[in-house]
Chains A and B, each alone.
Chain A
């Protein structure tokens, strides 16, 4: 990115970078609704992903993770959504102002997305192979037969046993994990450089979750593609993410590499997320276990985001300055950024419970 790129306050996300990253989201702002009911869903989100890198976007429901992803893909429903500012650049090419046909051609070819519920993301009236083959037929001009052969190869690639036979089966004949694999095969058919996985494992049971994450990680490494992993599950990202961006109320509140996030969480929200993970070593007195430690309260209504720090009503460490001043995402050194007035203090403290990282990533 050129250093003369204007006064974007958060461009510090990609410091001293001479080549443009694979994907760069810059100060993205999205609103839903009209007039007094306007919900500010994204309030200046910036992040970037490089080739072969995994960025995890972490946050509660309604924090704007998926809306960011949909805006990047260009599949945000407008209306009700409205992009009010910011930029999305793919290999330096600005997308938000690009021709819709150009964007359509990029989808599938250069960037693809997988969804949380793979059953509803697969069309029930076509066989799985047919849906994968469609892309080879219409984007690569293959014959029906050749495309089906390629579809079977794709199923094989995502480790679906008996791919040659299963390619003829329908989505409802697949188990949950198999469906998500099929969905991954479908999105990787045209060999995209960027894959956005929107809560790919949320609908799956724990053992299958691990398999799918492993598969995504392997495919990313083999193909050198950028991966954006959207999740609310700290356990899921611990092993695979290179960098983690924590979102709250449509903002990035903390952004750093995975190791330092677990070692030195700088934002009280991040600390809260880590604390709320149930842990096997929480014995308490007499082995009865201790109560879960959720973050108190609810995420703010996006049509009435509190003044000052959006997290202050739920924050145990809130001071006067937190209700008055919006903390900006600022550099804490070592590519660690956080949007908290007292970030330095928290970084120095380390996590509340020092073993979180090991436990979570086990």
Chain B
């Protein structure tokens, strides 16, 4: 609907009756948001960075042909050279190659964790906000149990329960575990945002009007409440993407998250800790990648929020 609307509107349709639309291109909530979004340099800068990171994750061979697992102990801690421009770590790995290959697991965890948090949290929040009463109380109290757990403590408890420290586990299994841990500990945030938005939308006259015209509860939730509550949750998800990348690095650093043979930036930072003074490049480069990635997603989230948050208008 939204995207076809401007094309079908004749020039000057705003006319005398066109209440305040003025020169602004005016479509639905989403079209308006997109219009504002694409005029922001911040959005394009963040998008460009994220684009590069995504290419890095999907096709690391475009950036490097070196095997990230290839280790040459003779070159342990070597400074940068034409061979390995960022130098080599304690095991003699090429830091540049590992940093490039580290993008995929890091972004996978960030993406899946954001997706899981938003889907689980939104559904719970939507039900809580729409049903209200004891259903709302039940879901809210249940969410508070998880929100009350400190993230690091919760992460340590969950991940050490599943894996002995130092145990070698498969790539898929550990990625799944880390993602689920983050989702379980973070969904209450998304739930609260969705619940607040749903509570507000449920009180709106258009929901009442839809009921007065005989819309059933499913149609009201799907067509009237959800589209009006999605914007704040999407903004949250974009910002959380960056936060979750950091969370993955934290868990990896503690030795309970992703681990060898998976290469992520967090894993690299974790491995560098024993000889930071001697081999600073092993800490610096993955940390720099991490900071840039987190910054890019938080910047994108900021731009999206400014464009879609109704209070900013």
A134 partner residues in chain B, CB cutoff 8 A: 223
B139 CB–A CB distance under 8 Å: no
Interface string of A100-135 (1 = CB under 8 A from B): 000011111100111101001111111100100011
A161 partner residues in chain B, CB cutoff 8 A: 17
Which one, A75, A109, A123, A169, contacts B206 given CB within 8 A?
A123
Q: Is the CB–CB distance between B208 and A127 below 8 Å?
A: no
Whole-angstrom CA separation of A187 from B20 in the bound complex: 25
Nearest A-chain residue to B203, judged by Cβ = A77
B4 partner residues in chain A, CB cutoff 8 A: 168
Q: Is the CB–CB distance between B209 and A105 below 8 Å?
A: no
B205 CB–A CB distance under 8 Å: yes
A319 CB–B CB distance under 8 Å: no
B213 partner residues in chain A, CB cutoff 8 A: 107-108, 112, 135, 186-187, 189-190
Total interface residues in chain A, CB < 8 Å: 45
Q: Is the CB–CB distance between B26 and A173 below 8 Å?
A: yes
B312 CB–A CB distance under 8 Å: no
Assess A124 versus B14: contact at CB under 8 Å? Given A165-B9, A172-B19: no
Whole-angstrom CA separation of A109 from B17 in the bound complex: 30
Per the 8 Å Cβ criterion, residues 167-185 of A in contact with B are 168-170, 172-176, 178, 183
Q: Is the CB–CB distance between A173 and B214 below 8 Å?
A: no
B82 partner residues in chain A, CB cutoff 8 A: none
Per the 8 Å Cβ criterion, residues 136-150 of A in contact with B are 138-139
Nearest A-chain residue to B10, judged by Cβ = A165
A34 CB–B CB distance under 8 Å: no
Q: Is the CB–CB distance between B9 and A175 below 8 Å?
A: no
Assess A175 versus B209: contact at CB under 8 Å? Given A79-B133, A108-B214: no
Q: How far is the CB of A347 from chain B (nearest CB, A)?
A: 37
Per the 8 Å Cβ criterion, residues 37-83 of A in contact with B are 73, 75, 79
6 contacts between A and B (CB under 8 A): A107-B211, A120-B204, A123-B227, A162-B15, A166-B13, A168-B9
Q: A108-B212, A114-B209, A186-B213 are in contact. List 8 more A-B contacts (CB 8 A).
A: A75-B208, A107-B211, A115-B209, A125-B29, A126-B223, A169-B5, A173-B26, A174-B19
Among all A-B residue pairs, the 3 with the closest Cβ atoms? A108-B214, A107-B214, A108-B213
